Every structure is written in C-alpha cells, then in structure tokens.
Amino acid sequence: MRIPVPAAIFLFVFSFLIDIYIYADVCNSTKRRGLRSSYAVSSLLCWGLLVVIMCMPKRSEDSDILPIMWMLYTYLSIYIAKAGYLLCSVFGRLIKVIFRSKSKRYISRLTGVGVGVVLFVSMWWGVLYTRYHIEVVPVEISSAQIPESFNGYKIAQISDLHVGTWGNDTTFISNLVDSVNALHPDLIVFTGDIVNRRTSEVEPFVKPLSRLKAPDGVMSILGNHDYGDYMDWTDLKDREINNQELLEHQKSMGWDILNNDKRFIVRGNDSILVIGVENWGDPPFHTYGDLELALSSSRDSTYHQNDNLFKILLSHNPAHWDKEVSHQTNIGLTLSGHTHAMQVETEIFGWRWSPAKYRYEHWGGYFERLNDNGQPVRLYVNIGAGEVGLPSRLFRAYPEITLLTLHN
C-alpha cells in the first residue's frame, strides 16, 4: 500500500480548506461556543489521524497495513461527507448571489448535512454489506471453434481475493468457496492477486480455499501483488522464499499454477487449451508474463493463429489483451482481473460506470473485437472478490464470481 507524498500533501490541504470553510459556517450559524469548540477539536483529531497514517511504516517487513487501511478509510469517510456538505453550501451561496435570492442559507446548510450523512452511510454500507454480497455474473461465450463435446462447458472465474485484507477471518472466503462450488462448474480459474503483500497472509485461508472443487480442477495464475513487490525486503533471498512459499501453498490447495504454461482439457476426441501467463504489467507494475513461452510460435503462424483450436488465456492485467493478445493471436477468450473496478461501480439503466475507466479501457465485463487477421477475440474482466487499499466496495461493485458457459 503506497501513499505518495503529493497525495499526502493533497489530503492535508483538502482537509484544512474544508474544515476552515465549515468552521466559518458553524460560527455564522450559531453563537454556542460548545459547538464551535467541538468542531475545532474533532477537526484537529482528524488531522492527527492523518499524521499518524502518514508516519506509520507501510512497506517494511514488520509493518501491518490493516490498521493503516482502516484509519485511512475512516478519515476519507469523514472528509468525503464534509465535502458533500461544502458543495451544497457553496451552491447555496452562488444561487443567493447570482439570483439575488432572499432565501435563508440554512436551507443549503441543512441540505448539505443531509448529503454528508448519505455519503458517510454509503461508504460504511460498502464496508458492512456490499463487500460481503457475492454476485454471480453469468456470461455466454459462443464460438465456432468450441468443439461439440464442450458445448455447455462451465467455467467459474474468481479473481483478486487479497485475503490479507481479512486478517484471520475466513468467513467471507468460506462463503465464496461455497458459492463457487454450488455452481458445479467443470473448471475453476483464479486470475491472480491472492495476497496483498506477502505469502503469510494466505496461511489462514489454505484450508477453505482447498475446498474449491471441479472435475477439471482449479487453475491459477499470479497477479502483481503476488510477487512481494509491495514490500522493502532487507534480504532479497527472503523475497524469493516468500514467492516460493506462495507457489507451494497453492499446490497444497490442489491448484494448478500456470506460470507461462498451458494445459489441454480433453473430452473424447476433442480438446481446448488453457494458457496461463505470469503477471503482464503496464507501468508501474512489473512484467513477468511471457506469452511466447506459454504458447510458442508455430512455423507458419505467430501464436498458432492458423489453427482452429479454441484457446483460453488467463492473464491478470486486461491491458495485456489490449496491447498484445487481441492483435497478434487468435486466442478465443482471455480472462483477466486486476482493476477491481477501483471498488466503486454504479449502474443506471444498463449503463455502467467506474472511476477505473479513466485508468483502464477494459475495466470490467465482456469485450469483443477482431484481431489483425479478422478473427473474433474476446475478453472478460472480473472485478474481483476482495479489496486492497480501502476495505470497502461501493454501490454495485459486488464481489464477483463469473460463470462462463461455452457454446459452439
């Protein structure tokens, strides 16, 4: 978890300006010294909380980011609510000036208080309800490349568990496992980011995750958080041990890790191919993925574009599909995660929005286009089941299980 210096400065300035404005409003609306003093003291306490957050170590091996996450979320929930009040109050002032209205300003202030309360409750609703409310998203995939034997084949995709955010509480992960198993998929795939920073986070969850079962097993890949890159290691050998232990834990859970590798799934005389690459990162994330290693070029075609085999690629970052896969391959379906929809998603009459759209073109859901040879290629981005940075999911950013059904 990183809080850059410019972001820290912004938060301090943001807090100071909001509190100065609201304190002036409090002074203008009441003569009670107790209310003025209470607001001033509460603001100082919030500023102190922010100082503590910034001073706590975040990347050392001995640090625990859970307290930081909760303190930062508490701070943000307070100041986003205050920002809602400020906007209503400023709007009331502007209306009064522009239209020379004689209406009392207490109306805009009361509206601001209401908006602030709604924002505060919404943020904590995301903590207490939304992040527990598992949603199964059905997706139908049709392709002439899918063999008859795989017509109706079901794949359950989960992604971005970030189990460290739950500490030692395995309740949610157990419920997620039960929900996946209840779908009776033929194959389960996990598309990366099982931890936040280090392997020890997954240890309490090995037993419940071992209960994931499907006839063709559980296949997994690594995400950007799974390499120990979010910690400052005093000895790089410790990082190597950490990464090796993560692989061993997944193997002990019965998961098949596809690190730049592939597996054939056979039904009678028919087969499909599942390919997995390590994390393919656009900056600032590191790139470990190698599609050429996982699916080497044939003599007459880059990535076997001339064959008719239906291929499924597991690649954590959807930017990989956009920049390489969808142009140079005929991989029929790529499954990704990574974006979380930034843990904020709204949907109005079928129109979906998330702040993630300003970072990733393909931030969540289903996408299809033609490759350079005019062949259809598809991408599905799962918005994840866990949280990192902030322990909340807002509005419709529910923890997702994707149930993909293949049709020929």
Q: What is the pLDDT of residue 234?
A: 84
Rounded distance between C-alpha atoms, residue 334 and residue 327, angstroms: 13
* H or E segment and range at residue 187: strand 187-190
What is the pLDDT, as a whole number, of residue 13?
87
Same domain membership, residue 279 and residue 223: yes
Query: For residue 105, what pLDDT band results from cuts at 50, 70 and 90?
Result: low
Clarify whether residues 176 and 303 are in a common domain: yes
pLDDT category at 90 given cuts 50, 70, 90 is confident
- The lowest-confidence range among 19-23, 140-144, 157-161 is 19-23
C-alpha 250, offset from chain centre: 21
Residue 115 shares a structural domain with residue 146: no
* Res 167: pLDDT: 92
Does residue 163 sit in the same domain as residue 112? no
The number of folded domains in the chain is: 2
Task: State the pLDDT at residue 108.
Answer: 76
**Together in a domain, 230 and 83:** no
Last residue of a domain, one of 85, 101, 128: 128
Summarize the confidence of residues 13-18 as an average pLDDT. 89
Give tens-digit pLDDT for 249-297. 999 999 999 999 999 999 988 999 999 999 998 777 788 998 988 887 6
CATH no. for residue 244? 3.60.21.10
d(CA 182, CA 72): 36
Residues 169, 70, single domain; the answer is: no
Task: Quote the pTM value.
Answer: 0.89
Confidence of residue 158 (pLDDT cuts 50, 70, 90): very high
Write down the mean pLDDT value for the chain.
Answer: 89
116-120 long-range contacts (CB < 8 A, ≥24 apart) are 116/81, 116/82, 116/84, 116/85, 117/81, 118/84, 119/77, 119/80, 119/81, 119/83, 119/84, 120/77, 120/78, 120/80, 120/81
Q: Are residues 392 and 337 in the same domain?
A: yes
Task: Please check the confidence at residue 118 and state whether its pLDDT lies above 90.
Answer: yes
Per-residue pLDDT tens digits for 278-291: 999 877 778 899 89
Do 122 and 191 share a domain, yes or no? no
Which one of 128, 159, 182 terminates a domain?
128
Q: Say whether both 48 and 81 belong to one domain.
A: yes
> Do 114 and 164 share a domain, yes or no?
no
Together in a domain, 173 and 256: yes
Q: Which domain holds residue 21?
A: 5-128
User: What pLDDT shows up at residue 226?
Assistant: 94
Give the pLDDT confidence score for residue 61 in this predicted structure. Answer: 66
pLDDT band at 14 (very low <50, low <70, confident <90, very high): confident
Q: Looking at 128, 156, 179, which one is the last position of a domain? A: 128
User: Tens of pLDDT along 371-406?
Assistant: 888 889 999 999 999 999 899 999 999 999 999 999
How confident is the model over 125-141, as a mean pLDDT? 96
What is the per-residue pLDDT for 302?
56
DSSP collapsed to 3 states, 213-261: CCCCCEEECCCHHHHCCCCCCCCHHHHHHHHHHHHHHHHHCCEEECCCE
The beta strands (E) that lie in 232-374 are given as 255-257, 261-267, 270-276, 311-314, 333-336, 344-348, 351-353, 365-370
pLDDT, one tens digit per residue, over 319-375 is 999 998 998 888 999 999 999 999 999 988 888 999 999 999 999 999 999 988 888
CA distance 272 to 408: 12
Residue 214: band (very low, low, confident or very high) from pLDDT cuts 50, 70, 90: very high
Are 73 and 162 in a shared domain? no
How confident is residue 8, by pLDDT bands cut at 50, 70 and 90? Answer: confident
pLDDT confidence band for 52 (50 / 70 / 90): confident
Strand-pairing partners, residue 235, are none
Parallel, antiparallel, or unpaired: how do β-strands 365-370 and 255-257 relate? unpaired
